[in-house]
Every structure is written in structure tokens, then in C-alpha cells.
Structure 1
Amino acid sequence: MVAEIDQIVCENAVRNLVAAYARRADSLDAAGVADLFAIDGTLTVGSGTHEGRDGIVKWLSAIAAASPPEGRHIVSNLLIDANAAAEGTATAQADMIFVARTGEGGPLHILAAGHYQDRFTNTPDGWRFAQRQIFFA
């Protein structure tokens, strides 16, 4: 029974982390995105890996400084494996598209599509990303 409760708590936390990542990334909240990661967490985007919260803040701050188009991450098909939740780890994968307007008032376009592969850890501050890998289609 305790293991089942651990799994349910973990799955809810993972769903919230995945959604919070999309929302915070959309608002270019570099510190907010980094806070979703364990202190030593990693974020791999394509061939670049950003290590630790400071590395993640530096990467997202550089993107924000380039004035990217305002857009939205749309995440679907989230599949969570919380079988090791009692030991403090979980994994997940999800599909993702990023849509944005390329001109003022213009239609939305898909600017990126791919999937996430995530590993989570339960820290003293709650569940956090230990690793997020983003693969583009």
C-alpha cells in the first residue's frame, strides 16, 4: 500500500514538473526553470548539455536575450514510470511541439517538434528533474 501511495504522489509531482517546465520556459523564466531541477541536474538540448542550475539559467538567459518569438510548448503523451518511486527515482517521456507566431498578428507555426526523456529524483525539496533530454524530430 505504501509503495502504491509513493507511486501516486510521484506521478502527480512529475505531471506538475512537466507542466511547470513548459509554462516557465514559455515565459522565459530562467531561474524558475532551473528551480525545477535538482542542484546537480542536467538539461540536454540537441548536442549541448547544461549542467546544474547555474548552467541552465545561463542557457535560458541567453535565449531570452536573443528575443525569441513568443510561443507555447505543447506537451502530450506523457508516460511516467514511477515503479521506483519508493527509492526516490522515476522516469518519463513525452512528445512536444513548440508553436509561435513568426510575425505580429500572424498565424501560429510549429517551430519545433520532438520528445523529452526525463529522469526525476526526490530531493529534500520534493521531486525535481535529475535529467531532461530534448530530442528534435
Structure 2
Amino acid sequence: MSSSTDDLMAIHQLLARYAVTITQGDIDGLLSVFTPDGTYSAFGDTYPLAEFPALVAAAPQGLFLTGTALIELDGTGDGDSARGTQPLCFVDHATHELRIGYYQDTYRRTPDGWRLRTRAMTFIRRSGAHDSGRPHAFDRGSA
């Protein structure tokens, strides 16, 4: 049985792996931080893991600078789930324009260690509004 300190460190390393792999364009590494049924939510929609590579390819490239996440380990006793919030500052590589916001996550312990189960992006606008982005900002193509 691992300690809560070990679990927190493992989740923080998982989140660091997310930021580094997406910044470096390592899609396989990025996908490895999610559970197989993992999802990403932004732009008014939720995307299954299978759609994540196309979503990343359509997005601006740059630096994903993340802050320390506030993590709450499961208090129900199963010890295999957690949730958290992690601040983000994205810097576009071409323009150095910033996008700021935060991720709201759920985590699951797997045989391969802790993984992201869900990740939802909230953008912070210049107006002070917090939202998930413009609906349909990412074209999923025709069904």
C-alpha cells in the first residue's frame, strides 16, 4: 500500500509528463498519461482519447507551463481515485501570446500507475470570465 505522499508525488509526475509531452509534440507520450477510457473537455464538448491526437494537431503549438496542482485523494477509502485542479499558462510559439486558465481533473490508479481519467479546460478571459471556450472551435469532421 502506498502512502498519500507517494500518491501525490506520482500524480504530480504524471501531470509534469502531460505538460512536457504536449509541449514537445510527443503524442504517444501524451496519450500514455490517460486511462484508455480517458476524455478531454474543452470548446463546449468532450473528446474521447481516440480524438485527442487530431485535437492537439489542430491547436496552436507552444509551451504548456503548468503550476502545482491542488489534489484531493479519494476519501471514500478505495484509494484508487483522486481529483484536482491545475493552473495553466500556454505561450504560443509563433506569437508568444498567452492563454491562461486551469484544468479540472480526475485521476485513477491503474496497474501502470496513476493516470488522468478526465481533463477539462477552463479558460480565464480578459473580462474575468471563466469558460470552456467557443463551442465547435475544433472541427471533428462529418459524422
Identify the residue that residue 121 of structure 2 maps to in structure 1: 134
Aligned counterpart for 1:28 among listed residues 25, 28, 31: 25
- Structure 2 gaps, min length 5: 125-143
Distance 1:94 1:12 in 2: 14
TM-score (norm 1): 0.78
Cα pair 1:7 1:86 within 8 Å, conserved: no
Shift in Å, 1:14 = 1.0
Match of 1:57 among 53, 56, 62: 53
Aligned length: 123
Per-residue deviation, 1:128: 0.4
Asked if residue 81 in structure 1 is aligned to residue 78 in structure 2, the reply is no
Identify the range of structure 1 (76-85 vs 88-97) with the bigger mean alpha-carbon deviation.
Answer: 76-85
**Letter of the structure 1 residue corresponding to residue 63 of structure 2:** R
Are the counterparts in 2 of residues 93 and 117 from structure 1 also a CA contact under 8 Å?
yes
TM-score normalized with structure 2 length: 0.75
More strand by share: 1
Matching of residue 37 in structure 1 with residue 34 in structure 2: yes
Alpha-carbon RMSD across the aligned residues, in angstroms, is 2.0
8 Å CA contact 2:63–2:93 kept in 1: the answer is no
1:115 is matched with which residue? 102
Q: Which has the higher helix share?
A: 1
Which residue pairs with 1:7 in the alignment? 4
**CA pair 61-31 structure 1, distance change in 2 beyond 3 A:** farther
Q: Which runs of 4+ in 1 moved over 6 A?
A: none
1:46 aligns with 2:47: no
Partner residue of 2:82? Answer: 90
CA apart distance, 1:86: 4.5
State the alpha-carbon separation in 2 of the partners of residues 77 and 35 from structure 1: 20
Paired with 1:46 and 1:135, the residues of 2 have a C-alpha distance of 9
Q: Percent identity?
A: 26
